[in-house]
């Protein structure tokens, strides 16, 4: 049993040293936590330990990347084998495994497509944008309010704008200080799950492509009629449709949102999970778009990278995907997530907390309102604040979460982990007056 936590003094000391050397003490803004991040020292299966020796059930899983859990035997075996057999960690040249893995991914997501590997999901979205502009000859890119596509300067607008605006009204706002002028002018922001609003915006603008997270934040689904409208509209108007499946590929379904909706986009961006814990990304697309990357093409789109398709990422990725496709492994993850969603709901009901659960496949989340959420704007600041408080207290009870974000399930999570999680939630909800009050 995980004991209630008592101190994170070593994490605090390490953070104070790190912030002298690294801006904010972290090598990625999302890794920062108030008042300071935990420093982790080891992991096994579904558990992690911090430098103070505190143990946690891990629902972050390296931001969803480790769908098999930490140190899965198949992944560790693949890592040892590749180290022993190649005699190096990097060639900088093609290897047979690249085509083998590409064939597996294409068979799942787009049988008649082509694929180019990158080293991150960010690079995948960036490459997809560039291909869209090259194919169409247009500069503007449309993305959706509340959707995140990595630190891509073309798309760093309206992830979480400070000016939320009136209901249904969007005001374009940069997410980063350098995104201004022509860069921001070339971004078209669309209202998610709003057919009429999206159509009006696209009719006013001449865009090269539309990119979206089919599940906003990985858990708020696009309505099916909205997705079918988007596919039909983009096809009829010569606009390239891009699914950013970095969060949803292999997590909501084995075949991601492509399988869930039964809709074929023009390009798909993948990342995280397909690397088994090593850096990777990929763009899958229709051959008439992807052929622009052929270095023999006179009108080519230049794309390169020393680590693209590197043997470590490819090998660990193949081990991960093969394990997910083995037997009923993906179903086991989905069933565990369904159980956790159900028990979280029962626990919140037990304490009189209004809520609604969300998630498909291996994703679990909930909001503190009975009202259905169709976009992050439907979640009030007060409800978000209370959810963050609950998650922060859960951390003190040994449950590792990103406050107010989704739970990511893995093959390693057990019934015991779920019991620990639910019992931790009961302790949190049963302590303090604010947790017993229903959010407004």
Q: Which of 56, 148, 219, 261 is catalytic?
A: 148
Burial of 195 (0-12, 13-18, 19+ CB in 10 A): middle
Give the CA distances from residue 259 to residues 14, 68, 321, 342, in Å, rounded to whole numbers and listed in that order: 44, 21, 16, 24
- 3-class secondary structure, 434: helix
The DSSP symbol for 272 reads G
Per annotation, catalytic residue among 58, 145, 244, 391: 244
| Farthest CA pair distance, the chain | 68
Residue of 194, 272, 366, 391 marked active site? 272
266 part of the active site: no
C-beta of residue 267 within 8 angstroms of C-beta of residue 285? yes
Q: What is the C-alpha to C-alpha distance for residues 259 and 282, in angstroms, rounded to an integer?
A: 18
Do 310 and 99 contact (CB within 8 A), yes or no? Answer: no
Distance CA(336)–CA(340), nearest Å, equals 6
Residues whose CB is less than 8 angstroms from the CB of residue 149 and which lie 6 or more positions away in sequence, other chains included: 121, 122, 125, 143, 155, 211, 213, 244, 269
Which residues are within 8 A (CB) of 200 and not within 5 positions of it... i.e. 6 or more apart? none
Q: What positions carry a catalytic annotation?
A: 148, 244, 272
């Amino acid at each position: 049993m995980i004991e209630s936590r008592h101190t994170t003094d070593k994490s605090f000391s390490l953070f104070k040293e790190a912030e002298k050397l690294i801006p904010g003490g972290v090598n990625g803004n999302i890794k920062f936590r108030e008042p300071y991040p935990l420093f982790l020292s080891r992991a096994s299966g579904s558990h992690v330990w911090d430098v103070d020796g505190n143990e946690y059930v891990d629902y972050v899983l390296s931001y969803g990347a480790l769908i098999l859990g930490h140190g899965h035997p198949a992944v560790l075996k693949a890592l040892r084998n590749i180290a022993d057999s190649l005699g190096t960690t990097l060639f900088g040249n093609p290897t047979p495994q690249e085509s083998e893995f590409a064939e597996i991914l294409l068979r799942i997501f787009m049988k008649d497509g082509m694929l180019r590997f990158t080293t991150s999901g960010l690079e995948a979205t960036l490459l997809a944008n560039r291909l869209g502009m090259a194919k169409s000859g247009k500069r503007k890119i449309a993305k959706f309010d509340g959707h995140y596509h990595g630190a891509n300067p073309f798309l760093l607008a309206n992830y979480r704008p400070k000016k939320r605006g009136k209901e249904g009204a969007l005001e374009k706002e940069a997410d980063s200080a350098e995104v201004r002028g022509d860069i921001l002018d070339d971004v078209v922001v669309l209202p998610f799950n709003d057919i009429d609003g999206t159509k009006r915006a696209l009719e006013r603008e001449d865009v090269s492509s539309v990119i979206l997270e089919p599940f906003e934040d990985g858990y708020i689904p696009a309505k099916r009629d909205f997705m079918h409208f988007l596919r039909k509209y983009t096809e009829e108007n010569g606009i390239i449709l891009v699914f950013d499946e970095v969060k949803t590929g292999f997590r909501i379904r084995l075949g991601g949102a492509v399988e869930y909706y039964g809709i074929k986009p023009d390009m798909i961006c993948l990342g995280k999970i397909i690397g088994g814990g090593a850096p990777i990304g990929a763009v899958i697309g229709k051959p008439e778009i992807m052929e622009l990357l052929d270095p023999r093409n006179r009108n080519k789109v230049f794309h390169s990278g020393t680590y693209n398709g590197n043997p470590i990422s490819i090998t660990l990725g193949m081990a991960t995907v093969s394990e997910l496709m083995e037997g009923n492994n993906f179903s086991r993850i989905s069933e565990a997530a369904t159980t956790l969603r159900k028990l979280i709901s029962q626990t919140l009901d037990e304490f009189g907390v209004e809520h609604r659960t969300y998630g498909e496949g291996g994703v679990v989340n909930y909001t503190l309102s009975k009202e259905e959420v169709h976009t992050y704007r439907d979640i009030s600041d007060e409800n978000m604040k209370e959810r963050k408080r609950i998650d922060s207290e859960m951390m003190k009870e040994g449950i590792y979460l990103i406050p107010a974000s989704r739970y990511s399930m893995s093959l390693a999570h057990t019934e015991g982990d779920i019991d620990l999680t639910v019992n931790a939630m009961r302790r949190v909800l049963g302590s303090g007056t604010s947790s017993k009050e229903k959010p407004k």
